[in-house]
A and B are shown apart, each in its own frame.
Chain A
């Protein structure tokens, strides 16, 4: 059974370093899908996002999601990293890397992890606007719940 690598950290991560770590010494992996989520500037209005998290539960929930994905898509490797603290536009927020023998499982695995991570991992974003106002908490989107729920409908295959 593949053990996912889970990290919750304030510092940045490097995509290539994390991919190299995942595939080091392996010759059985045929597909690696990498998703990274970045902070947008929202049309130039945003100074930074502040990511709050529930220490302990954030890691635990990410691990639960990752283990479900490894089992469901028979992944050969999975890395999920989520940052917290103040993040400026253009900086990384989240990274998911999924490895499998063929591409579809790696695409699906990374997609599944992101859909559940957005709706079940305890992180919250607060906007810090450039105009110096106090900013709002980002509201949860129904579209994120719908994206998660499509993995819950009984599969017909």
Chain B
């Protein structure tokens, strides 16, 4: 399954790209699995996702818990805790 990933704030800066499309390996089931998979893709990913528990994930532009499955996602947002307002 191919999925579009979009990154924001310091996650985007450390991965050094705003978005990309990747092929999900079969063992990636939940949002947490995805973060752990991305961490293996290089130094930038490792730096961005060093503490995966603080990272927020949105599937099709809605927040999800990290233990939720991501099957069927068209777009997955990955970003730090929000600081707007």
A and B form one complex:
yes
Point out the residue from A56, A125, A137 that lies within 8 Å of B61, measured CB to CB. Answer: A56
Contact string against A for B residues 14-52, beta-carbon threshold 8 Å, 1 for contact and 0 otherwise: 000000000000000000000000000000000000000
A7 interface residue, CB < 8 Å from B?
no
A-side contacts of B83, CB under 8 Å: 118, 123-125, 137-140
Point out the residue from A60, A138, A144 that lies within 8 Å of B62, measured CB to CB. Answer: A60
Q: Tell me the smallest distance from the CB of B9 to a CB of chain A, in Å.
A: 4
Measured CA separation A120–B64 after assembly (Å): 11
Contact between B85 and A54, CB atoms less than 8 A apart? no
Measured CA separation A114–B38 after assembly (Å): 33
On whether A124 and B9 interact (CB within 8 A), knowing A57-B77, A119-B82, the answer reads yes
Contact between B58 and A54, CB atoms less than 8 A apart? yes
Contact string against B for A residues 53-92, beta-carbon threshold 8 Å, 1 for contact and 0 otherwise: 1101100110000000000000000000010000000000
A-side contacts of B6, CB under 8 Å: 54
Contact between B84 and A82, CB atoms less than 8 A apart? yes
Binding site for B on A (CB under 8 A): 37, 51-54, 56-57, 60-61, 82, 93-94, 114, 117-126, 137-140, 144
Lowest 10 A-B CB distances belong to which pairs? Answer: A123-B84, A140-B81, A118-B85, A124-B9, A57-B61, A138-B83, A125-B83, A137-B10, A117-B85, A121-B84
